[in-house]
Amino acid sequence: MNNQQSVAEAFIKYQTEKIRQYKADPSVPSFQLNNAEMELAQALQRKAKIQPTGGTRTSSNVILKVPKGTRDFHPAQMRLRSEVLNKITNIFKLHGAHQIDTPVFELKEILTGKYGDDSKLIYDLKDQGGEILSLRYDLTVPFARYVAMNKISSIKRYQIAKVYRRDNPAIARGRYREFYQCDFDVAGQYESMIPDAEIVKLLDEILSCLDIGKYVIKINHRKILDGIFQVAGVDPELFRGVSSSIDKLDKSPWEEVAAELETLRGLNKKQIGTIAMFVQISGSLSKVLNILMTNYEIMACSLAKEGIDDMMLLINYVKALGIPDSRVLFDLSLARGLDYYTGVIYEAIVESTTESEAIAVGSIAGGGRYDNLVGMFDANNRKVPCVGISIGVERIFSLLEQRKDSSLKPYDVEVYVASAQKDMVGHRLRLASLLWDAKLKAELSYKPNPKLLQQLQYCEETNIPWVIVIGQDEVARKVVKLRNVQSRAEVEVSESDIVSELKQRLAGAVLPSAVNN
Amino acid sequence: MNNQQSVAEAFIKYQTEKIRQYKADPSVPSFQLNNAEMELAQALQRKAKIQPTGGTRTSSNVILKVPKGTRDFHPAQMRLRSEVLNKITNIFKLHGAHQIDTPVFELKEILTGKYGDDSKLIYDLKDQGGEILSLRYDLTVPFARYVAMNKISSIKRYQIAKVYRRDNPAIARGRYREFYQCDFDVAGQYESMIPDAEIVKLLDEILSCLDIGKYVIKINHRKILDGIFQVAGVDPELFRGVSSSIDKLDKSPWEEVAAELETLRGLNKKQIGTIAMFVQISGSLSKVLNILMTNYEIMACSLAKEGIDDMMLLINYVKALGIPDSRVLFDLSLARGLDYYTGVIYEAIVESTTESEAIAVGSIAGGGRYDNLVGMFDANNRKVPCVGISIGVERIFSLLEQRKDSSLKPYDVEVYVASAQKDMVGHRLRLASLLWDAKLKAELSYKPNPKLLQQLQYCEETNIPWVIVIGQDEVARKVVKLRNVQSRAEVEVSESDIVSELKQRLAGAVLPSAVNN
């Protein structure tokens, strides 16, 4: 017997004895006995639920599980998920973004050659005759396909949808094979860094409203990174590979990355030394810009210079937008894995507050500018420059689930229709119908002759604040008893007034759930 | 040149001449000239958009299309879709349902043997090592798997998600290979017909609130249908096959179905004759029940009698719920294709109001009782009876898109930050940031030095009701010009008051979009 079980046993023993005493004592009022019995019944039910669960097979010997790296979302989780997605959606809309949706799969060739090494993680569909399809790997490539196919020259869009990667799942860190991405992108020919700055603002708004603790938005620029490689004397053909190695710095120490640069990428010690010097630099936008601008070799490199010019604009815009210095970090080691970025790149990091969270957190958003992707889909190579950000909400869910009270009740039914006697189904249905038509959230027992005690118990357990109780007498007089579940106080209300009465009480009352939490 | 183009040409010619005259006449005020120029610019832009579109290939010779039977959702469509799904969700919640979500794919063996002939329409994933997976075909089988796997004994849940069928697409009828289903199901051991009746009520609420015109909810009972087959002397092993043929009666005439019963199912003329007599019967619940109850053979058949007892309860409950007789049809020809139904079955039909709609409409919801499906997934064959309904919203979208004004504008930005002079980016960003932080939906031009005319034009085109206009003078005096886009009236407001001023005007004002529609 585990601890939970023994506590439950002890309470049941205590409560049983109390009821025996109440019954023996004629001075105890009947409502007190009723309440004690209700509490006992609840305890018995709770005890019944304390049972270990495990894997199982069905009667036809099928293993009963969800596919590797995926999960079901239970009602309480769905509530948290909707809450988070709604907050994000509202901020996307503040910035005037339009929502679009694309199919969960694309022609395989649309995805081919867009993800570099990660292409091996794409889920393919079986060839069942007809087109060869793959599940989407992100929302960026389908968006670029959408812009090219619909000949759109400018759009600010958001899309919230699941993407699929045959990666090694790490559930505790919130890494799944099926997961939501929330993407915001600005497509269009703009000679400025204004949309690039707006995205920093948008990200700051989202992260601050999600209440996930301290965070920092890392920024870098692909042209500055490539400029550094050029200054270090690296062959331009190796730039993306070197970038890919540098990208591992958030998980691996410099020594490992340096070893990979030497053995896998073929760089010499001097080249690695130069890169090492630069990628250690991080700090406020102005601090890092100052360091770069006093470096003669960097300023002589036209590629790096273009990136620096962009960052000069960005620093002014980020200031005008009122984003505090402490939440933005110019980090020359930020590289981002994907090939298609061409300008500014972003990554948001949540700082852990406890040791167990240190595992769960890390990067929760990433993005950047990709000016050539749409052109790859256009017959005339017509370019539509884009910049965007993708919020990886799965890690945010994991974080909030760890931090939040796990007893979060998913119910918000407002009123329950109960009967105190038998053969009242028709009247219960009639009253429930009245409530539904008035847009009140209502439930009733599905049993033909439920016991009143069980009905009231259900309301207490599920935090339903009000119960309408009827019997033959009430039906004959066209009234109902309106009972407050928490206080157990009852008033009689006429059937014709019950909707307005309930609406008033629901609007004004402090609900039991609000009091308990 | 098509008609649209020639109209555009004519207007541009007229407007150009008008501007020429205005310019020549010194008595014409400058705002009049400005407005005329704005209208010309808009006309030129509209003309540029009138172009035929067609299929295309990308620069790398990839065909640019979405997979067969799927579609992208554009912003205006997404707005309609959210509207419909929100209405449905709100009604699910009225009835106290919990939302869950399941992965888009399941282990293939979970889906095996659940859909009869339709199994051939399941999308399989490629075997890339590891588990063998298939895309979900509906939400019912994953729900049964969920209930069994989590050892749930009772739940009222809803799920809104896309399902996948390699069917022959019929886009005009709203039949896609990727489409949304909105499912509501009640799982649990209830000896009554109360949840079965609640589903009729729920369906009635949803269909009436969606504003899709006249509809009817067809009801039948699998046990009555099987009773009819028994009375006709059909071998019980043929029941599901015969049912499957009867199911085609909504699309095919009786003669075709009769031929299929004879040739494919092997029934004789007498058996077919008996079935023919019954499946022609439809009408109100009471009318059809009366016909059945006066039939000696049916009443002598215990299977049919069980179904009739259920329907007797249902008729009382539907009456108590106040659902009008005219919207419920007891139709003995209703069979439903899927094997797993065991009791009452439902189907909702929208009646067409025009000839073109006659193609688009038809069945928009279907469901029924399935008491054995969860048991198939349980190691001990523990049964959890279920009853549910699935709303096929794709057809509802098609119907509403056909009926609605296609010019539905997807924008709801509340205020635009414009500048009247050059070099104002920082100030535009500062003001936009002020608005976003106050949760006002705001946009600004991404060009460093946009022309005022173009900024105002954009607001007119996209129905943004308010513009803040700033210049060096306004910035120096810490004020802004607040312009009503529709009336073109301007007032000066101090920067510190602009948020409260806008919130008041937005709360009270009739927006241009509301006036135009």
Q: Are residues A104 and A31 in the same domain?
A: no
Tell whether B307 is covered by a domain: yes
> Best mutation site among B68, B70, B83, B101 for testing chain A: the one with the most A CBs within 10 Å?
B101
Q: Would you place residue B354 in the very low, low, confident or very high pLDDT band (cuts 50, 70, 90)?
A: low
B chain contacts of residue A93, beta-carbon cutoff 8 Å: 412, 441
Q: Are residues A405 and A426 in the same domain?
A: no
Q: Domain with A468 in it: what CATH number?
A: 3.40.50.800
pLDDT, mean of residues B378-395: 91
Summarised one tens digit per residue, pLDDT across range B141-163 is: 999 999 999 999 999 999 999 99
B chain contacts of residue A78, beta-carbon cutoff 8 Å: 98-101
- How far, rounded to the nearest angstrom, does the alpha carbon of residue A289 sit from its chain's CA centroid? 34
Q: Would you place residue A473 in the very low, low, confident or very high pLDDT band (cuts 50, 70, 90)?
A: very high
The sign of the torsion formed by the CA atoms of B168, B174, B178, B181 equals negative
pLDDT, mean of residues B348-353: 82
Q: Please state, for a pLDDT cut of 90, what percent of chain B lies above it.
A: 68
How far A224 CA sits from the closest chain B CA (Å)? Answer: 23
Q: Would you place residue A262 in the very low, low, confident or very high pLDDT band (cuts 50, 70, 90)?
A: very high
Q: Point out the residue among A104, A376, A426 whose CB comes nearest to the CB of B59.
A: A376
Q: Point out the residue among A107, A191, A440 whose CB comes nearest to the CB of B65.
A: A107
Residue A463 domain boundaries:
415-516
- Tell me, what's the pLDDT at B7? 59
Summarised one tens digit per residue, pLDDT across range A67-106 is: 999 999 999 899 999 999 999 999 999 999 999 999 999 9
pLDDT, mean of residues B134-141: 97
Tell whether A374 is covered by a domain: no
| Domain end position, chosen among B359, B394, B410 | B410
- Tell me, what's the pLDDT at B485? 94
- Tell whether the model's pLDDT for residue A113 goes beyond 90: no
| Domain end position, chosen among B350, B370, B400 | B350
Q: Are residues B404 and B420 in the same domain?
A: no
A chain contacts of residue B321, beta-carbon cutoff 8 Å: 429-430, 432-433
CA distance A250 to A347: 11
Q: Would you place residue B510 in the very low, low, confident or very high pLDDT band (cuts 50, 70, 90)?
A: very low
Q: Point out the residue among B96, B149, B188 whose CB comes nearest to the CB of A441.
A: B96
pLDDT, mean of residues A306-325: 95
> Total domain count for chain B?
4
DSSP A481: E
Q: Point out the residue among A58, A75, A445 whose CB comes nearest to the CB of B99.
A: A75
Q: Would you place residue B416 in the very low, low, confident or very high pLDDT band (cuts 50, 70, 90)?
A: very high
Q: Are residues B174 and B306 in the same domain?
A: no
pLDDT, mean of residues A306-334: 95
> Best mutation site among B53, B61, B66 for testing chain A: the one with the most A CBs within 10 Å?
B66
Tell whether A236 is covered by a domain: yes
Q: Would you place residue A31 in the very low, low, confident or very high pLDDT band (cuts 50, 70, 90)?
A: low
B98 to A78: CB separation less than 8 angstroms, yes or no: yes
Q: Would you place residue A51 in the very low, low, confident or very high pLDDT band (cuts 50, 70, 90)?
A: very low
- Tell me, what's the pLDDT at B2? 46
Of A50-64, B17-31, B473-487, the range with the lowest mean pLDDT is A50-64
Q: Domain with A294 in it: what CATH number?
A: 3.30.930.10
Query: Which one is predicted more confidently, A240 or A369?
Result: A369
Residue pair A368/A235 in contact by the 8 Å Cβ criterion: no
pLDDT, mean of residues A444-454: 94
Q: Are residues A220 and A169 in the same domain?
A: no
pLDDT, mean of residues B479-498: 95
Exposed (0-12), middle (13-18) or buried (19+): which is B378, by Cβ within 10 Å?
buried
Q: Would you place residue A192 in the very low, low, confident or very high pLDDT band (cuts 50, 70, 90)?
A: confident
Tell whether A63 is covered by a domain: no
Q: Are residues B209 and B77 in the same domain?
A: yes
* B45 annotated among ligand-binding-site residues: no
Summarised one tens digit per residue, pLDDT across range B229-277 is: 999 999 999 998 899 899 888 888 999 999 999 999 999 999 999 999 9
CA distance B63 to A107: 9
Q: Are residues B88 and B192 in the same domain?
A: yes
ipTM above 0.90, yes or no: no
Tell whether B246 is covered by a domain: yes
Q: Are residues B100 and B158 in the same domain?
A: yes
* A341 annotated among ligand-binding-site residues: yes
Q: Are residues A141 and A198 in the same domain?
A: yes
pLDDT, mean of residues A235-264: 90
* Ramachandran assignment for A324, one of left (phi > 0), alpha (psi -120 to 50 degrees), beta (any other): beta
Tell whether A369 is covered by a domain: no
- Tell whether the model's pLDDT for residue B357 goes beyond 90: no
Q: Are residues B22 and B88 in the same domain?
A: no
A95 to B442: CB separation less than 8 angstroms, yes or no: yes
pLDDT, mean of residues B373-395: 91
A443 to B192: CB separation less than 8 angstroms, yes or no: no
- Tell me, what's the pLDDT at B135? 98
How far A362 CA sits from the closest chain B CA (Å)? Answer: 25
Q: Would you place residue B56 in the very low, low, confident or very high pLDDT band (cuts 50, 70, 90)?
A: low
Strands A466-470 and B105-107: unpaired
Q: Point out the residue among B72, B104, B188 whose CB comes nearest to the CB of A446.
A: B188
Of A110-114, A414-418, B395-399, B506-510, the range with the lowest mean pLDDT is B506-510
Tell whether B161 is covered by a domain: yes
- Tell whether the model's pLDDT for residue B406 goes beyond 60: no
- Tell me, what's the pLDDT at A5? 55
Place of tokens 């939501």: A180
The sign of the torsion formed by the CA atoms of A20, A25, A26, A31 equals negative
DSSP assignment of B38-88 equals HHHHHHHHHHHH-------B-TT--B--PPTT---B-HHHHHHHHHHHHHH
Q: Are residues A324 and A456 in the same domain?
A: no
Paired tokens of A99? 């929502």
Strands B442-444 and B415-419: parallel
Could you tell me which residues come within 8 angstroms of residue A473 by beta carbon, excluding any fewer than 6 positions away?
none
- Tell me, what's the pLDDT at B192? 86
Could you tell me which residues come within 8 angstroms of residue A233 by beta carbon, excluding any fewer than 6 positions away?
A270, A271, A274
- Tell me, what's the pLDDT at B418? 97
> Of A370, A345, A380, A346, which is closest to residue A114 (Cα–Cα)?
A370
> Of A70, A68, A94, which is closest to residue A180 (Cα–Cα)?
A70
CA distance B422 to B448: 8
Exposed (0-12), middle (13-18) or buried (19+): which is A279, by Cβ within 10 Å?
buried
Summarised one tens digit per residue, pLDDT across range A314-323 is: 999 999 999 9
Q: Are residues A204 and A241 in the same domain?
A: no
- Tell whether the model's pLDDT for residue B166 goes beyond 50: yes
Tell whether A58 is covered by a domain: no
> Of B198, B283, B434, B458, which is closest to residue A154 (Cα–Cα)?
B458
CA distance A340 to A320: 29
pLDDT, mean of residues B86-115: 94
A205 to B66: CB separation less than 8 angstroms, yes or no: no
Residue pair B105/A71 in contact by the 8 Å Cβ criterion: no
> Best mutation site among B126, B134, B178, B196 for testing chain A: the one with the most A CBs within 10 Å?
B126
- Tell me, what's the pLDDT at A171? 79
- Tell whether the model's pLDDT for residue A175 goes beyond 80: yes
Query: Which one is predicted more confidently, B220 or B396?
Result: B220
| Domain end position, chosen among A366, A394, A410 | A410
DSSP assignment of B92-133 equals HHHTTPEE-B--SEEEHHHHTTSSGGGGGGPPBBP--SS--E
- Tell whether the model's pLDDT for residue B352 goes beyond 80: no
Chains A and B form CB pairs within 8 A to the count of 300
B67 to A107: CB separation less than 8 angstroms, yes or no: yes
Q: Would you place residue B327 in the very low, low, confident or very high pLDDT band (cuts 50, 70, 90)?
A: very high
The one-letter amino acid at B94: L
* A336 annotated among ligand-binding-site residues: yes
Q: Point out the residue among B150, B198, B320 whose CB comes nearest to the CB of A430.
A: B320
H helical segments located in A296-442 = 296-300, 302-320, 355-360, 373-376, 393-403, 425-437
pLDDT, mean of residues A219-242: 94
Q: Compute the mean pLDDT over every residue in chain A, rounded to the nearest whole number.
A: 87
